[in-house]
Amino acid sequence: MLKLTYLSHSSFLLDDGTHTVVIDPFLTGNPTAPLAVDSVKAQYVVLTHAHGDHLGDALDIAEKQNALIIAVNELANYASEKGVNAHNMHIGGAYNFPFGRVKFTIAHHGSSSPEGLYMGEPAGVVITMGGKTLYHCGDTGLFLDMQLIGERDHIDCMMAPIGDNFTMGIDDAVKAVEFVKPGLAIPIHYNTFPVIAADPQVFAKKVEAQGMQARVMEYGETLEL
């Protein structure tokens, strides 16, 4: 069993009844965030990259809740230098944590800290937890190697950015879902700011027209996988 709560933008809270993991916790300064950072309880923080709308409140959660940050080497080192616990990984590598397995994948994007420092490569992440495997694309353009991600692991749930401008737009995201063939596709990274306005129902309809399942999650909604 895995409970998935959508914290808006690219952020999710995962809860298997024992462990809690938050992905890209951007709450403070996020006009669509359904919860304040102090209401989000997490033991682990998985980061796809260091841009402010993904790093977000990660250091605050790690510091106040003694949570472990899991990220690519450069970003994990940055977190360590800020005085919080971090586990360094990199693209292509997987590691078994007490809650499950984390594997970082490629993502075509950038990654820099709030101070403008190079933070290594941006990533997507495949997380197996509570008997389910999720693929969170991070911020990325469409790439053919997504087919390999779907071949290496059966993906129960794929979180795909659809907001365009910085990432895939709707039509590229639909193609990404075709490549990965997940059990369920959830659109992310849209409508947080005017520049990434997109209609998630259009994405869902186009995915369903390809014979696959999609679900538009409300901000703060919890889904049991």
Which residue sits closest to Ni ion, CB atoms considered? Answer: 51
Which one of Mn ion, Ni ion, none is in contact with 121 (Cβ closer than 5 to 8 A by kind)? none
Name the minimum Å distance from CB 123 to Ni ion. 11
Q: Of 175-194, which residues contact Ni ion (CB under 5 A)? A: none
Q: Smaller CB distance to Mn ion: residue 40 or 168? A: 168
Q: How far apart are CA 214 and CA 158, in angstroms?
A: 9
Where does this chain bind Mn ion (CB under 5 A)?
53, 139
Name the minimum Å distance from CB 161 to Mn ion. 7
Residue type, 152: R
Q: Of 52-91, which residues contact Ni ion (CB under 5 A)? A: none
Structure tokens at 218: 């409300």
Residue 126 falls in which region: left (phi positive, over 0), alpha (psi -120 to 50) or beta: beta
Report which secondary-structure segment, H or E, holds 223.
strand 222-224
The number of residues in the chain equals 225
Which position among 139, 153, 164, 172 is part of the footprint of Ni ion (CB under 5 A)? 139
Per CB under 5 A, 164 contacts Ni ion? no
Q: How far apart are CA 66 and CA 39, in angstroms?
A: 15
β-strand pairing of 86-89 with 94-97: unpaired
Q: Smaller CB distance to Ni ion: residue 51 or 206? A: 51
Q: How far separated are the first and last CA of the chain, in Å rounded?
A: 6
Which one of Ni ion, Mn ion, none is in contact with 15 (Cβ closer than 5 to 8 A by kind)? none
Within 8 A by CB and 6+ apart from 113, the residues are 50, 55, 75, 78, 119
Q: Smaller CB distance to Ni ion: residue 99 or 135? A: 135
Per CB under 5 A, 51 contacts Ni ion? yes
Name the minimum Å distance from CB 164 to Mn ion. 12
Q: Smaller CB distance to Mn ion: residue 2 or 168? A: 168
In this structure, what are the phi and psi dihedrals at residue 188, rounded to the nearest 5 degrees? -135, 175
Chain residues binding Ni ion by CB under 5 A are 51, 139
